[in-house]
């Protein structure tokens, strides 16, 4: 029985119980319909990630947002790909050979024409990616798209209020991996504004510096602060001296170790935590501060229901089809 159902069973008679069941079902349905579906890298579990095909599929499913990752190339074009370098389990050169994991071309050192030579339409057989996405349709010939190309598809296939969720990929611990964060933020906002979609976009990042730049140049722009607190990688670093490199000038310990309060100090409006770092208490605290919570990445129906029960506002998923079916009551 879901949490929302258990809360409702307080009556002692059959009539009261029946009324409680009906009210509880209504509450559960309302909770589901309030949750936004964010298609991770478009719909990575269904089509090649971060490709036009994946974004088209996400919009067919009627997602509320399509999430994507952007980098600035050597010739100052914003392209859409997750890693800082071409992924060896995704990219094949013109000869059909998979990219060498030890010699991965970095995107910010390549021109868009050079990047477009690589096919990203299928997964390397036997790779972790292939095991993670067994239902992904393989579409040979898909290329790394530019953000401009994705916006064109978005305007054609994704009616309002669907939004773009644009992750700026920069790493404060490895500055050589990308163009400067402020520059990427400036170019991203300039393109979104020129194409007339800035108000239909949300800018997200693990590196809080580009988000600070977005707030400086466009104070009303929607943003969300990505976080991850794990054993091998931690962008928050509670209890360590000084601020985490990922959080810019904000030290979470100056805010009682509270991530939502640190986000407020960074002039943030929303929080995008990993699934392992979400609790009912942290969601409630975010809501008290006027923030919305978008959890990532959730791919099973049971986990989706669990986070709906926790009260999150949006779920980022590789399988938006599963979340759509859950929300629609199928």
Q: In terms of domains, do 110 and 137 share one?
A: yes
Residue 28 has pLDDT above 80, yes or no: no
Q: In terms of domains, do 194 and 314 share one?
A: yes
Residue-level pLDDT at 1: 45
CB atoms within 10 A of CB 285: 17
Residue-level pLDDT at 12: 52
Pair type for strands 65-72 and 222-227: unpaired
Mean pLDDT of 42-58: 98
pLDDT band at 39 (very low <50, low <70, confident <90, very high): very high
Among candidate residues 272, 302, 316, 225, the one with its CA nearest the CA of residue 42? 316
Instruction: Provide, rounded to the nearest whole percent, the portion of the chain with pLDDT above 90.
Output: 89
Tally the domains of the chain.
Answer: 2
Question: In Å, how far are 11, 230, 312 from 41, measured between CA atoms?
Answer: 46, 22, 20
Q: In terms of domains, do 59 and 22 share one?
A: no
Buried b / exposed e along 298-326 (16+ C-beta atoms within 10 A): bbeeebbbbbbbbbbbbbbbbbbbbbbeb
Mean pLDDT of 51-63: 98
Partners of 225 in the β-ladder:
205, 271
Q: In terms of domains, do 220 and 261 share one?
A: yes
Q: In terms of domains, do 88 and 228 share one?
A: yes
Please name the helix (run of DSSP H) or strand (run of DSSP E) that holds residue 201, with its range, or none: strand 201-205
330/296: higher pLDDT: 296
pTM over 0.85: yes
Residue 302 has pLDDT above 50, yes or no: yes
Residue-level pLDDT at 24: 47
Structure tokens at 280: 């009912």
Helix axes 14-34, 301-310, angle to 10 degrees: 100
The enclosing domain of 56 has a CATH number of 3.20.20.190
Q: Give tens-digit pLDDT for 232-273.
A: 999 999 999 999 999 999 999 999 999 999 999 999 999 999
Q: In terms of domains, do 29 and 41 share one?
A: no
Q: In terms of domains, do 118 and 254 share one?
A: yes
Query: Which structural domain, as residue segments, surrounds residue 59?
Result: 35-327
Q: In terms of domains, do 30 and 50 share one?
A: no
Q: In terms of domains, do 310 and 168 share one?
A: yes
Q: In terms of domains, do 2 and 58 share one?
A: no
Mean pLDDT of 290-306: 98
Burial bucket for residue 156 (CB in 10 Å: 0-12, 13-18, 19+):
exposed
Long-range contacts of 277-281 (CB under 8 A, 24+ apart): 277/227, 277/228, 277/229, 278/307, 278/310, 278/312, 279/310, 280/310, 280/311
Residue 291 has pLDDT above 60, yes or no: yes
Partners of 293 in the β-ladder:
271
Q: In terms of domains, do 15 and 41 share one?
A: no
Residue-level pLDDT at 125: 97
Q: In terms of domains, do 277 and 236 share one?
A: yes
């Amino acid at each position: 029985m879901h949490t929302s159902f258990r809360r409702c069973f307080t009556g002692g008679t059959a009539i009261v119980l029946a009324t409680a069941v009906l009210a509880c079902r209504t509450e559960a349905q309302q909770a589901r319909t309030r949750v936004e579906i964010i298609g991770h890298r478009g719909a990575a579990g269904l089509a090649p990630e971060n490709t036009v095909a994946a974004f088209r599929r996400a919009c067919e499913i009627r997602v509320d947002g399509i999430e994507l990752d952007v980098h600035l190339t050597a010739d100052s074009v914003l392209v859409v790909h997750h890693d800082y370098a071409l992924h060896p389990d995704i990219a094949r050169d013109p000869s059909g050979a998979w990219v060498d994991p030890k010699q991965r071309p970095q995107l910010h050192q390549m021109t868009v024409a050079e990047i477009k030579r690589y096919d990203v339409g299928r997964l390397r057989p036997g790779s972790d990616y292939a095991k993670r996405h067994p239902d992904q349709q393989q579409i040979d010939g898909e290329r790394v798209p530019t953000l401009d190309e994705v916006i064109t598809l978005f305007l054609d296939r994704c009616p309002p209020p669907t939004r773009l969720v644009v992750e700026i990929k920069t790493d404060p611990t490895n500055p050589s991996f990308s163009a400067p964060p402020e520059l990427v933020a400036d170019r991203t906002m300039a393109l979104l504004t020129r194409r007339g979609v800035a108000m239909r976009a949300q800018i997200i990042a693990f590196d809080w510096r580009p988000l600070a730049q977005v707030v400086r140049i466009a104070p009303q722009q929607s943003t969300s602060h990505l976080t991850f607190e794990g054993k091998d990688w931690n962008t928050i670093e509670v209890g360590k001296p000084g601020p985490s490199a990922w959080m810019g000038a904000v030290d979470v310990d100056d805010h009682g170790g509270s991530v939502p309060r640190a986000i407020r100090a960074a002039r943030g409006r929303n929080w995008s935590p990993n699934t392992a770092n979400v609790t009912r208490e942290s969601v409630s605290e975010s809501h008290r501060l006027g923030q919305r919570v978008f959890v990532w990445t959730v791919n099973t129906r049971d986990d989706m229901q669990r986070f709906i029960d926790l009260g999150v506002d949006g779920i980022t998923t590789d399988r938006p089809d599963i979340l759509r079916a859950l929300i629609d009551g199928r």
